[in-house]
Chain A
């Protein structure tokens, strides 16, 4: 327990007495400061929540901050080496993205080239209708569209995974369930659609037939829908279930091969690199880069935060002016009290500390009120708006906003109390206490 010195205790006791004796003036000081502190709290809370929301969106698409990502070149051996090397590893997942069609075979899909399905007319999309191939740099290209009759089929990206990718990309569940990687592989591939793909299946009657590349047909089972932040129709599937229907080498042909690893999985990374190099992949093509999601959004957030903090500081300054104004008026009224306190042995320094204690306590009370108000407003907003804004679900009041409010209140109390404190300390006893 912190034990305050006699001087500090005296300053606090007299400060509290002063506040209790002048409740209305304290309230006036608090009112002028309240908006300033609330502005700081709101900016800080908004920035934290905004960062969380932005980060959450960025992580959906790019992956969690700090995750290691390795793109694998399209080579007949890469898929088999990666699947073998990462088998049973919890902290590393290989994924293979290829183009697939669900629905009637041999027709032009509703969304040629995997175009988003929420458009009224998908004809404007000029993407490839055939399989898509991606090179090691991430550039993708496809076969030109073939003249086929239109039919009930949806073209989408099919992502086959060796493990649960959600540890790196936290997809939000929408309905159904996620793939169960612990169970034995099923003959009929279980797939999870993203929201963009689910739109098509809700809108059209699509037969359950999965075509990957040429000649591979399987009957898929849709087990759930997730929000993956992608507006291109996408389906997720277990690699081992897909491999029941296609050779492992063909996975490498589709392009879009990548491995995601946790930052601690350096051992797995080393093994994978070594085995890929041994399989004939040039070491120069095996680039590993960490995902820097926070840095990605930091610049834009910092700018917005600075602009709003500047505005908040301006409002806070008005609050400081209020405390200063009330403080100076109060010192003027309390000249005799302060002279008396000095007469009974209170030093100038302690007298200044008493005035500062009062303004600091006022700042602290105001900060508490502003932080409490901010927390209540956020709670109410998250309750009312959670349905419309998913990022507001289960959101707590960020402690950074509370800390910023308390610091702002204390700084305002300090700045607003400094001049009154100096004035109080300079009060001459002799001229005031004479008869």
Chain B
């Protein structure tokens, strides 16, 4: 079966003022439909950069990126935008909701992106359905400032799911939430994989990583380890890698970072 995405030897080098800086080096990653993958690692290990490359926010400097077996390593910006719309859904630590729009309008904004056209009524119906999937359809008319952090993140997840993406990319989605709300958000994201959607979750929380099918650990831009959560966590501890406390400390800084976009 053709993997959903396949990264082979992907490298990302940033051109510095004095010397180039390698962010990712030779990373391999394969994700199948319906599979969930957690990416862990210390801050600066390249997790978010990896997610940026997978989500076509950025281009790799080297290596190959296949989507449904097709090479998309070098794409035009326009084509990349079309694929972002059709294939991927994004959830961020900061919710990035537009405060002047209601919850349903925030979800529907993903449908007004120039990639095809849906009449207003259909847009609204799909946005309501997406909000229903994350359990907050009753808050459809509320604007972000009137929603709690967990509710805002669920609106953001509904926005990521409204176009029925093949792969959801979540970059520390629980970083700004308390444990209980964070678990709820992970539940919602996990349920998306039950419909055949892939999920890549960047997290500092081993409890959340445990719920994913596979865990990748990045260290200094390279893939240090991969496998089930228990195995990766044990090996990380044995080499002095991140433990729950270390990851949690990294996440603590984001606790107050939940925000809406002005």
Q: Residues on A close to B: CB < 8 A?
A: 5-7, 9-11, 13-14, 17, 20-21, 333-334, 336-337, 339-350, 429-430, 433-435
Contacts of B48 in A (CB 8 A): 434-435
Given the interface pairs A333-B262, A347-B77, A430-B58, the reply to whether A435 lies near B113 with Cβ below 8 Å is: no
Residue in A closest to B173 when the chains form the complex, CB atoms:
A435
The answer, among A9, A13, A433, for a CB contact under 8 Å with B92, is A433
Q: Is there contact, CB below 8 Å, between A435 and B84?
A: no
Given the interface pairs A340-B96, A433-B57, A435-B175, the reply to whether A346 lies near B114 with Cβ below 8 Å is: yes
Q: Residues on B close to A: CB < 8 A?
A: 48-49, 52, 55, 57-58, 77-78, 81-82, 84-86, 90, 92-94, 96, 98, 100-101, 105, 109-110, 112-117, 159, 163, 171-172, 175, 202, 254, 257, 261-262
Nearest Cβ on chain B to A414's Cβ, whole angstroms: 20
Nearest Cβ on chain B to A198's Cβ, whole angstroms: 69
Residue in B closest to A8 when the chains form the complex, CB atoms:
B114
Q: How far is the CA of A84 from the CA of B163 in the complex (A)?
A: 87
The answer, among A17, A339, A344, A434, for a CB contact under 8 Å with B113, is A344
Q: How far is the CA of A68 from the CA of B202 in the complex (A)?
A: 87
Q: Give me 21 A-to-B residue pairs in the complex whose CB atoms sit less than 8 angstroms apart, sorted by A's number.
A: A6-B115, A7-B114, A21-B98, A333-B262, A334-B262, A336-B262, A341-B109, A342-B84, A343-B55, A344-B85, A345-B84, A345-B114, A346-B81, A348-B78, A348-B81, A349-B78, A350-B114, A430-B49, A434-B52, A435-B92, A435-B93
Q: How far is the CA of A5 from the CA of B114 in the complex (A)?
A: 9
Q: Is there contact, CB below 8 Å, between B57 and A343?
A: yes
Contacts of A337 in B (CB 8 A): 96, 98, 261-262
Main secondary structure of the interface of A (DSSP, over half): helix
Given the interface pairs A341-B109, A344-B109, A430-B57, the reply to whether A9 lies near B117 with Cβ below 8 Å is: yes
Contacts of B115 in A (CB 8 A): 6, 345
Q: How far is the CA of A341 from the CA of B171 in the complex (A)?
A: 17
Contacts of A339 in B (CB 8 A): 96
Given the interface pairs A21-B100, A430-B58, A435-B92, the reply to whether A346 lies near B113 with Cβ below 8 Å is: yes
Q: How far is the CA of A13 from the CA of B113 in the complex (A)?
A: 10
Contacts of A343 in B (CB 8 A): 55, 57, 84, 90
Contacts of B261 in A (CB 8 A): 334, 336-337, 340
Q: How far is the CA of A346 from the CA of B78 in the complex (A)?
A: 9
Q: Is there contact, CB below 8 Å, between B94 and A435?
A: yes
The answer, among B82, B94, B100, for a CB contact under 8 Å with A17, is B100
Q: How far is the CA of A433 from the CA of B254 in the complex (A)?
A: 14
Q: Is there contact, CB below 8 Å, between A345 and B100?
A: no
Q: Is there contact, CB below 8 Å, between B112 and A347?
A: no
Q: How far is the CA of A25 from the CA of B159 in the complex (A)?
A: 28
Q: Is there contact, CB below 8 Å, between A345 and B113?
A: yes
Residue in B closest to A429 when the chains form the complex, CB atoms:
B57
